[in-house]
Structure 1
Amino acid sequence: MKVIRLVLGKIILLLNAVFSPKSQQRDSDAQQRVEQELQAITLYQFESCPFCVKVRRAAKRLNLPLQTLDAKQPDHEQALIAGGGKRKVPCLRIEQDNGEVTWMYESNDIIAYLEQRFA
């Protein structure tokens, strides 16, 4: 099973690289504001997870340089479990202005949030 996952993961990454989406264009001031807002957002992910790839593709299409953390690394995995309550990816960590943190799971929910906030 590990071999199948490894092979499929590499195929997914290859296809993602070959068919990379085109990024949305913004003027420099708007892009700078977006990047400043993104400092409060982190994506916990696995590199070859198809749902994580789906979220990263949507972020690229929206021209959102998200900070990503590999949830396979022990310290990131522990932070994900401690904050979000489960070891499930993709997970978007959103820190609000008041310091409250929201942990958002499910790729479709994450993409809808990013589109609603940044499109």
Structure 2
Amino acid sequence: MKVVRWVLGQIILLLDALTSPKPMVRALSAQKAIDDATASMAMYQFKTCPFCVKVRREFKRHSLNIELRDAKNDLDIKTELVQEGGRHKVPCLRTDNADGTVHWLYESNDIIAHLKKEFNLV
């Protein structure tokens, strides 16, 4: 079973690389504003998780520079996700708010919808 998952994961990564979306191009000032807003965000992910790949493709498509954290191979990141986020589930978007609170958002479709609303993306 582990071999099958590994092979499928490699196929997913290959297809992602071959069909990678073209990044959105913005004015420098607009991209800086987006980068400043996304600096407080991080996505907990597994490299070969198809739902994580889906979210990463949206990051690339909309030129969103959001930190990626490996919740599978990095024990500290995995522990942080479980203890602070409440469960070991990916993808998970963490947003550190200005008031000091932290917002955890799970599910690829919910993450994408949130980002589209937050940044007025089409």
Tell me the TM-score normalized by structure 1: 0.98
Please state whether the residue corresponding to 2:43 is helix, strand or coil: strand
- 1:45 aligns with 45
Corresponding letter in the other structure for 1:13: L
Are 2:118 and 1:110 equivalent residues in the alignment? Answer: no
**CA distance, structure 1, for counterparts of residue 106 and residue 2 of structure 2:** 24
**CA distance, structure 1, for counterparts of residue 107 and residue 36 of structure 2:** 24
Q: Is the 8 A contact 1:89 1:105 kept in 2?
A: yes
Identity over aligned pairs, percent: 50
- 2:4 aligns with 4
Q: Is the 8 A contact 1:59 1:114 kept in 2?
A: no
Matches within 5 A, 1:1-119: 1-72=1-72, 73-118=74-119, 119=121
Count, aligned residues: 119
**CA distance, structure 1, for counterparts of residue 25 and residue 108 of structure 2:** 23
Question: Gaps (5+ residues) in structure 1?
Answer: none
Corresponding letter in the other structure for 1:57: R
**CA distance, structure 1, for counterparts of residue 62 and residue 99 of structure 2:** 26
Question: Gaps (5+ residues) in structure 2?
Answer: none
Root mean square deviation, CA, Å: 0.6
Deviation at 1:7, TM superposition (A): 0.2
Give the ranges of 4+ consecutive aligned residues of structure 1 lying more than 2 Å apart after TM superposition.
none
